[in-house]
Structure formats: C-alpha cells, structure tokens
Amino acid sequence: MKILVTGGAGFIGSHLCDRLLNEGHTVVCLDYLSDYYDPKIKIMNVFHNFNHPNFIFLVKNVMEKDKLEKIFQKYPIDVVIHLAARAGVRASLEEPLQFRDTNVVGTINLLELSKIFKVKHFIFGSSSSVYGDNKKVPFTEDDLVDWPISPYATSKRACELYCYNYHYICGLNTTILRFFNVFGPRNRPDMAHFTFTQAIDKGLPIKKFGDGSSSRDYTFIEDIIEGIVKTLKKPLGFEIINLGNSHPITLNTMIATLEKALGKKAVIQETPLQLGDVEKTYADISKAKKILGWEPKTSYEDGVKKLVAWYKTAHSS
C-alpha cells in the first residue's frame, strides 16, 4: 500500500515509517520539522531511510491545503495515518491558538483531501488526554469525553469529532486511536521519560510534580506501532480504540524504575501539580483486544531498560 504518514519524522511517526517500510509498503513521510523541539532530532529519526527506494520524505505543513493537494495528486494514497500535531499538554496552556491551528485545521485539510481522493482508510492519532480528569477507571471508549482540561486535549477531541463528520458524510473508513503516554527509544525530548532520564544521568535535579502518587498508563513505543499496524489491516467504518498498557505506573515508581535502569539516584525537586495535568490515565483495552487482536507485550521495566539503552547510545557524553 501507499501510506501517507503525517508527522512521520516525529517520535511515533518515525518508528511507524520504519515498520511500514519493513512490511513492504511505500511510505510518503510528511513532516513540517516544526521547532517545538530541535528539528535536527527529527531528521536523525528518519535519516537512515533517505536512500530507501520506498521512502518519500516531504517537508510540508498540514495547514497548507494547496500543497497537500499536490501530494495527493502525485501519489495515489491508500491510507492516511495522521500523526502530525502540536503535542504537549503544558505548552498548550501557553499557545492555545497554535494547537487549534495545527491540530484542528491540519486534520480537516487531510480529511477533506481523503474524501476527494477516495482514501481507503484514515487513521487518526488521538490521545488519552481527551478523557480529561475522568474519575471512572479504566477509561473506556464510550466514556463521556466532554470535559477536556487543556487546549491540547480539546483540540484532539475536536479532531475526533471531525473524523466522525467525514465518516458520516462520505463513508470514509476512519479509526481513531487514543494513545496512552507513549515512551521508548527516540522519546520526545519534552516528555518526562526523556527529561528525567537525562537529568538523572547527568546528576541534575528533576521536578517531581505533586507527591508522586499521580499515575500514567505508560505504553511502550513498539506496542503502539504494533497496534497501528494491526489497525491498518482493519478498515471498519468508524471506530475509536484505546491503545494503552492498562497498567498505570505512579510517578514515584517511574522515578525508581529509571534510577534502577540508570544505576543512579535522582535529585528530586518537589513541585506543585501543574494546571492541565490529569491525576491518572488508565486504558481499558478490551476493545483493542477484541477488534484488533492487540495487547501490549512489553512490561514497563523492560520498556525502561530499552529506553535507557537507547539514551546511553544516542546521548551520553
């Protein structure tokens, strides 16, 4: 298949491109190389594929519909996997308009072109953040998600609703995957797994928000990629599916696991909880098991060992 991966040079996107190429697909990797974090990191994420005959790399902005249209004209796209986004809960409190523009406008542009060019399957990378501060755990796909608590979460929920519009209007096969707190090699550098690993390794202080009892359903990158690939094979009309580990880890356990893997103690700076941060994420993954035959295979400890091994190769001085 010819697959358009937007945000293909990012953390999740670059792993996905590798896997799709390995499976024999042609990958049109589109990425604006935004400066939310160092664009050089994104180039490094995909550099090894530049000479691959089935890899097409395009530096383009999902907000520029005219330019996107030329891509759809040139390459007959079978499947769109839309991962390009402005990510990050805390940053969205500072720049809400940028999150609306990139995430919502970019998604509408791609949905519109998918409609016009009769794409067979549109897969959207959503987020557990749409569940807001849901008190009912684990989070299931039919929980009410009307109370997002950050502009990032709101933008992702808006995209989900647009996805449904396009499925309803033109029968576009659309699958929304709600990713839960992804971590692993090539980790996004603004996320706690990276910043904590780096700080502990260098003996610098880490900010521990709250008392350490908040928890996240950390999901290893290879498991997420497996879930996306299984989804690719199942254009099922319209579905929303959680991809999470279904095993929340407290902040205290996360720090202890990183300390163990790095063989160093963290220097902890106690910091109040941040606005926009939820108390817990916890995926019910029974739908993913039933529909996709998917479940995560990597334990949290093994995932952290792989993250640290990658970090030591890529970053240690």
- The residues annotated as belonging to the active site are 152
DSSP string, 164-225: HHHHHHH---EEEEEE--EESTT--TTSHHHHHHHHHHHT-EEEEETTS--EE--EEHHHHH
Q: Does 12 participate in binding ligand NAD (rule CB under 6 A)? A: yes
Q: Does 10 participate in binding ligand NAD (rule CB under 6 A)? A: yes
What letter represents residue 186's amino acid?
A: R
| Of 81-89, 226-234, 273-281, 289-297: span binding ligand NAD (CB under 6 A) | 81-89
Residue 263 CB, nearest approach to ligand NAD (Å): 26
Q: Are 306 and 256 in contact (CB under 8 A)?
A: no
What letter represents residue 265's amino acid?
A: K
- Restricted to residues 13-72, the positions that interact with ligand NAD (CB under 6 A) are 13, 31-34, 42, 61-63
Q: How many residues bind ligand NAD (CB under 6 A)?
A: 28
Of 73, 71, 28, 75, nearest to 52 (Cα)? Answer: 28
Q: Are 148 and 93 in contact (CB under 8 A)?
A: no
Among 4, 68, 77, 83, binds ligand NAD (CB under 6 A): 83
Among 127, 174, 197, 257, binds ligand NAD (CB under 6 A): 127
Among 57, 122, 179, 311, binds ligand NAD (CB under 6 A): 179
Q: Which is nearer to ligand NAD, 25 or 42 (CB)?
A: 42
- Restricted to residues 192-211, the positions that interact with ligand NAD (CB under 6 A) are none
Q: Which is nearer to ligand NAD, 104 or 182 (CB)?
A: 182
Q: Does 182 participate in binding ligand NAD (rule CB under 6 A)? A: yes
- Nearest residue to ligand NAD, using CB? 10
Beta strands in the chain (DSSP E): 2-6, 26-30, 55-58, 79-82, 121-127, 174-179, 182-183, 205-209, 215-216, 219-220, 238-243, 249-250, 267-271
Q: How far apart are CA 89 and CA 276, in angstroms?
A: 7
Residue 147 CB, nearest approach to ligand NAD (Å): 18
- Restricted to residues 232-261, the positions that interact with ligand NAD (CB under 6 A) are none
Quote the distance between the C-alpha of residue 90 and its chain's center: 16
Residues that bind ligand NAD (CB under 6 A): 6-7, 9-13, 31-34, 42, 61-63, 83-87, 102, 106, 125, 127, 179, 181-182, 188
